[in-house]
Amino acid sequence: MSLQTDLAQIEAANASGRPPVVFIHGLWLLPTSWQRWADLFAEAGYAPVLPGWPDDPDTVEEANAHPEVFAKKSVGQVADHFCDLIGKLDRRPAVVGHSFGGLLTQISAGRGLSAASVAIDPAPFRGVLPLPISALRVASVVIGNPANYHRAVPLTYDQFRYGFANAVAEEEARELYATFAVPASGEPLFQAATANLNPWTEVKVDTANPERGPLLIISGEKDHTVPWAIANASYKQQKDNPGVTEIIEIPGRGHSLTIDSGWREVADTALTFIKRFH
């Protein structure tokens, strides 16, 4: 997605007079992974905005043909990019993010930019300590090779099956891989892996800001990439904020819960929460 495309979406949202909702994707996906969510929220009266990470291609085909565009994207750079875009909206938006997008959602909320936030299977930030074996296995795809810090790293089908699509049938898993999977910047995974060792890390959230607003964390019960232990530890870091903080576990769901055939249950859960406050 070009910056011009993102700015055009923001302009349209401002012109609509509707409450805006910003959707932030994580690693190995593109903004188009949110399209069904955007349609659902538009039907519910919201103005959806689906911005990309810097230099995101428009299509999966283009992304897989030019993986190098994903390289060298740090959490701080991407967070500033999204917060700058969010600041161009006339009204504070609801923000919905998945995986590293869930981390970015919490960063933007901690900067007081969000009317309400939903972080779905969010990547951990400094202070979140659990390191379940399954999460380490997923991260090792990237951090197992130090050279990947400056690279874009694609997932093989087997890696995608384990990290995203472990809770769906084989046929659906292959379809999801073909439809949605793209390479991802290695740098954020290295940053997340060392966040608790680095006092100056960019992978941090201002959990105490009274302007944070309401936050819902959604966890997929069978998620290998961000298991309950990580999601719940993120919740515990946030729950003392003056704003409403809630967590919900959705049974039987893996990390692909925003894109697989059960997406609607997750989207409805997010929409119901956002409607309470926005």
pTM of the model: 0.97
What residues does each domain of the chain span? 3-277
Q: Say if domain 3-277 classifies as CATH 3.20.20.70.
A: no
Confidence bin at 3 (pLDDT 50/70/90): confident
Instruction: Starting at the earlier edge strand, list the strands of the sheet with 94-98.
Output: 47-49, 20-24, 94-98, 116-120, 215-220, 245-250
- Plot region of 112 (φ>0 → left; ψ -120 to 50 → alpha; else → beta): left
Q: What pLDDT is attached to residue 1?
A: 61
DSSP conformation class of 184:
E
pLDDT one-digit tens code per residue, 185-214: 999 999 999 999 999 999 999 999 999 999
- Position 97 pLDDT exceeds 70: yes
Average pLDDT over every residue of 146-166: 97
pLDDT one-digit tens code per residue, 48-67: 999 999 999 999 999 999 99
Classified as helix, coil or strand, 150 is helix
- Position 164 pLDDT exceeds 70: yes
Average pLDDT over every residue of 152-161: 98
pLDDT one-digit tens code per residue, 115-133: 999 999 999 999 999 989 9
Which residues in 32-67 are b (16+ Cβ under 10 Å) and which e?
bbbeebbebbeebebbbbbbbbbbbbeebeebeeeb
* 8 Å CB contact between 177 and 165: yes
